[in-house]
Structure 1
Amino acid sequence: MNKEKLNLLKVLILTLSLSTLVGFTYTIKQNKGGNPDNIPEIADVNITSISKEDAMAPHYKVAGIIGKNTKFELLLPDNWNGKFVFGGGAGFVGSVINLALSYNVLEKGYATVGTDTGHEGANPIDGRWAEGDMEAIVNFGHMAVHRTTVVSKAIIEAFYNNKIEHSYFVGCSRGGGQAMMEAQRYPDDFDGIVAGAPAYEWTSGLAMGMTHNVSKMFPDPNNLDEPLVSISDLKLVEDAYLEMCDELDGIKDGILNDPRACHFDIETLLCEGDNKEDCLSQEQIDALKAVYEGPQDKNGDIFYGFPFGGETHKDGWAKWITGGLNHVDDGNTFHQGIDNSSEEKFPTPPNYQYGFGTHLMKFFIYQDSTWDYTDFDYDTFRDDALFIGQTLNASSPDLSKFRANGGKLLMYSGWSDPAITSLGTIGYYEDVIDFDETAEDDVKLFMMPGVLHCAGGDGPWYVNWVDEIDNWVANEKDPEQIIVYFIDEEMKPAGSRLLCPYPTAAEYDGVGDTRDVKSFNCGN
């Protein structure tokens, strides 16, 4: 089992436990069970199997292939609630992934589907499949999710002999980017969409942004053993900015409510004279500033940098930005989850950003497996990436067609996300509102202090996003406030706080329990 699937299973187990421990309740609308004999023949779709399953909830599993390569698995519960939810993928996908299953959707009666997006990959950070295969790139970019949606809807309505009441998409990371692509390119597909930590800008944001970061941490692409900035160096930075800014929100907890409010200057950590302890070299400071500020060319900023947060967490920078091949066996890195069992061994990268960034450059943008970032010219990148960006990027702020259909878009991002900068997510949301200020009625962003990529971190991170989008669409209940839960080491709820729609943020009342949502309100 690859790491992405393992992580999905962990989240699924967590969700199953939370539904009892936190007291989440749900009611299944009792519909007459479907009939597998009603599943229609659809042009260019090969149904490879139909099986009766009992895992999670009694259901039929319909597996098939759309076109030449797009695999999907559609789950049809016996007690259908009249709704459909598509679960997004992760990384470069490469196997059928359905994030929606981590939110109890099958138990709640949703018909639900996932797809491999039209290719097989040895690992979710393996992009070698894209070299020389534009059809695979188009499927990955947008076509596979759309075609799977159309096919799934046809099967669902035939199976139950009934119309779908509401259709939702929920995803994070790659799935968040899929969500945004659906809202922009296929506005009729879904009534409600959840886009978490969205990978929406694959060229400037991921390919360039990630390659930029790792080139600063590993200036020589042939020496990936140790990063320029170590964990102890990062702790020095984190301790310094927390000492200055931790209590800006009235709580000393190692969490910045909004890192942009912290004006710490890492230049103050520069070593002076012969002193080499508890300080940083100019080269290290320059590398860190490059990550925090983002890549630039002769025309200015190419993409957003990263805010303070997540530098020393075991699933933070060590997993995504620093790492190093000498730390393959460390407990705080990701390498143990990489599957190298395929015949064509996947070369172990020093961190996730190196894997994603360089593979995007090699196999998507330049179509050259020998490419590396030695002497890379940033000034040509925008033109170099223009063609592939038209297929991969979901950066249009125009959501008018989606909104005209009654569509609702929920976005969320962890402030401490070390994978996809939260500043980019904010930037997209602000572009949407700048394009049409009335969009704030139908598009909402929730920023999550102390949260890493999609989940985890020092802050509270658990929200059932399917419940939230369903309440908004089906029950017309605007998500003006959302309760978010801390999770302890035993994967149990350990307190709660409040999420507020951006640009507002939760404010502490100054006297109550800092792990009780009642002690917070949504300020101005």
Structure 2
Amino acid sequence: MFLPFLLLQLCATVAAATNDNPKTVPCEASSFTNPVVPGAEVLSIKAEERRNFDIPAVPGLLEPVSDLNFCDVQIYLTHPGANDKVLVETWLPLTRGLWNDRFQATGGGGWATGMLDLSLGPAVAAGYAASSTDGGHSVDYFSADWTLNEDKSVNWDLLQNFGTRSLADMIHVGKSLTEQYYRQKPRYSYWNGCSQGGRQGYAIAQRYPDMLDGVLAAAPALRFPALTMSFLWPNLVMKETGTVVSNCEFNWFAAKALEECDIMDGAKDGVIGNPETCTFDPRSLVGQKLECSGIEIEVTEAVADVVRKVHEGPTTPYGSKVFPSLTYGTSLSTFVNATTNPDGTRTLNDPGLDVFARTILLRKSDKYNVTKLTTTEFWSLWAQTDEEYGWIMDGDNPELSAFRDAGAKLLSWHGTIDDIIPHKTTNKYRQRVERELGGAKAVDEFYRLFLAPGVKHCGFGDGAVPKDPLETLRDWVEKGEAPDTLAAETRNEAGELVTRNLCRYPRTPKYLGTGDVNKASSWGCVGTDEEEEVSKPGKTFRDEL
């Protein structure tokens, strides 16, 4: 009898260990207590079970997600004195078996603090408990109308939510609900975002360094207000020089830059491996001819000079560069809206990208027209932007020692032909962190950056896009496997799979000279891991640019 008794006891012990917290609480509001959110009060909780939930595809942004089963918990909270009402929505995989023991906070995009369903769906499909927030305002990626009160004064409370506050609130709420629902804390917690979501990830690392175990932040809008002002630079150059260059012409120059610099990484693959080494000069094409709208156009010195100045990026009349430029080979169609007329003249149209200046700086002034903006007006608005709004919406503080000391990891990637946010902004930030915290090798212990040649904003382009960077971050956080490369892939025009291993910054890709150029095994990473000389303290990002 003694041996069977021991076996029964052993089986019971194993069963208890393998079925620890096997169930969840009911998916209803009464199952949850108000999460503790510093500086905020919970207004209401609503919980609803969702089964077989589908999210349709968003071309170029989201693959279709189907048959999701989760507990949808919506919490509204407010910040006393702010008169705001902020939604934090958390999706919890419906059963304990569907949950991967992890929590994911998700970022926004454009002028939206969060993307709600578009970010929650993929996270839950991957097994995460996940949260998103609207920051207390409309989820509109292209409008900043919510930043103004009815009297056109700035709503600073909503801007604070957008900048940082709602990000921390979302994490507090999401982690609390996850623990309540599954009756255990998430083993690990992560951030996942690109563009605005990338900026938010950096802001979390800087301002709330001990809230998460890992941050995945791609193509970050580190200096968001200044970035939006930089969108106006091409128009200003063309207006002030009196020379309008059409989108067709800009695209031609981009193709010529690719033609000249593609081979510099050792292979003609339709991608410039390291834009920093591309010495393309548009003035070398003066006299050549191209066709736009059926009209033959000859490249003049004036046209070439405009292209050069636009690619230099915002530069003061005294020659100081105040924001990184887009690399040659990058499309300018996002910023330029100029057409070629039947008589060969060009018309400069409003590109519609002056949301920040028109809405926040000028309070929707009817007198404002970006195509008529003067140099004096532009630099006046730029100064106002940095002075009044950088502190609340920027994410470029290089002091990451608290994040480092918390044992957290920051994984970031940026496409080198990003046509919205110049990848150089991320390069420069990384260099500042190195100066602050002991050099490249020391920073690599907790923060690694990967550049994606030929990739546009958060994806697209002809280059290989990171395949599963969040999984790479998890391996770094949970297994201590620091990544030297980042697996990426795309398909070329023929539909063939193209794979690459993106290089850890500052290394760059180089074709090995043999093998299929479409395969990652035919490429290596070149460069040095030696730390650069640490610059004197006190030099700022803006000084450096």
Q: So what's the TM-score if we normalise by structure 2?
A: 0.77
2:471 corresponds to which of 463, 467, 470: 467
User: Which letter maps to 2:357?
Assistant: M
Q: Residue 81 of structure 1: which of 100, 120, 136 is its match?
A: 100
Whole-Å separation in 2 of the counterparts to 1:172 and 1:229 = 31
Deviation at 1:403, TM superposition (A): 0.9
Instruction: Answer yes or no: is 1:210 the counterpart of 2:201.
Output: no
Distance 1:383 1:236, change over 3 A: closer
Residues 259-311 of structure 1: per-residue CA shift (max 9 Å, x gap): 121111111223499x9955433443333222211112247111111101232
Q: 1:74, 1:119 → 2: CA distance?
A: 17
Question: Secondary structure of 1:245's partner?
Answer: helix
Give the residue type in structure 2 aligned to 1:321: F
Deviation of the 1:379 alpha carbon: 4.5
Query: Which moves more between the two structures, 230-239 or 177-186?
Result: 230-239
Q: Counterpart of 1:474 in 2: which secondary structure?
A: helix
Contact 1:310–1:457, Cα closer than 8 Å, also in 2: no
Shift of the 299–290 alpha-carbon distance from structure 1 to 2, 3 Å rule, reads closer
Identify the structure with the greater strand proportion: 2
1:449 alignment counterpart: 453
Cα distance, 1:461 vs. partner? 1.0
Specify the code of the residue in structure 1 equivalent to 2:34.
E
**Which whole-Å CA distance do the structure 1 matches of 2:168 and 2:117 have between them?**
15
Quick one: distance in 2 between partners of 1:451 and 1:169?
A: 22
Aligned pair partner of 2:198 in 139, 156, 176: 176
> After alignment, is 388-397 or 278-287 more displaced?
278-287
Q: Tell me, yes or no, if the aligned pair for 1:398 and 1:435 is still in contact at 8 Å.
A: yes
Task: Determine if the alignment matches structure 1 residue 38 to structure 2 residue 52.
Answer: no
SS at match of 2:308: helix
Match of 1:114 in 2: 132
Whose relative contact order is higher, 1 or 2, with alpha carbons under 8 Å and at least 6 apart? 1
> Deviation at 1:156?
1.3
Question: Structure 1 residues 231, 300: CA separation in 2 closer, same or farther (over 3 Å shift)?
Answer: closer
Question: Aligned partners of 1:326, 1:72: CA distance in 2, in Å?
Answer: 48
**How big is each residue's C-alpha offset from its partner over 1:194-224, in whole Å with a ceiling of 9 and x where there is no partner?**
11110110232x1321122343357799xxx
Determine the C-alpha separation between the residues in 1 that align with 2:235 and 2:276: 23
Q: TM-score scaled to structure 1, two decimals?
A: 0.80
The Cα shift of 1:381 comes to 4.5
Q: State the distance in 2 between where 1:424 and 1:98 align.
A: 29
Letter in 1 for 2:421: I
1:105 aligns with 2:109: no
Aligned residue-pair number: 455
Provide the residue aligned with 1:59 in structure 2.
70
Partner SS, residue 427 of structure 2: helix
State, as a whole percentage, how many aligned pairs show the same letter: 26
Separation of aligned partners in 2, 1:239 and 1:489: 16
Q: How does 1:132-143 map to 2 (within 5 A)?
A: 132=153, 133-143=155-165
Q: For residue 176 of structure 2, give the secondary structure of its aligned residue in structure 1.
A: helix
Matches within 5 A, 1:240-255: 240-255=256-271
Given that 1:468 and 1:479 are in contact with CA atoms closer than 8 Å, whether structure 2 keeps it comes out as: yes
Q: Which runs of 5+ in 2 are unaligned?
A: 1-18, 54-65, 79-83, 342-348, 528-545
Q: Equivalents in 1 of 2:379, 2:248: separation in Å?
A: 34
**Number of the residue aligned with 2:58:** none
2:102 partner letter: K
1:495-506 equivalences under 5 Å are: 495-506=498-509
The two structures, once aligned, show a CA RMSD in angstroms of 3.0
1:375 aligns with 2:377: no
The whole-number CA distance in structure 2 between the counterparts of 1:481 and 1:39 is 42
Q: Which has the larger radius of gyration?
A: 2
CA distance in 1, matches of 2:436, 2:169: 29
Residue 17 of structure 1 corresponds to: none
Within 5 Å, give how 1:310-349 maps onto structure 2: 310-311=330-331, 317-318=332-333, 320-323=334-337
Counterpart residue type for residue 127 of structure 1: A
Aligned-partner residue type, residue 22 of structure 2: K
Cα distance change on mapping 1:267 and 1:277 into 2, 3 Å: farther
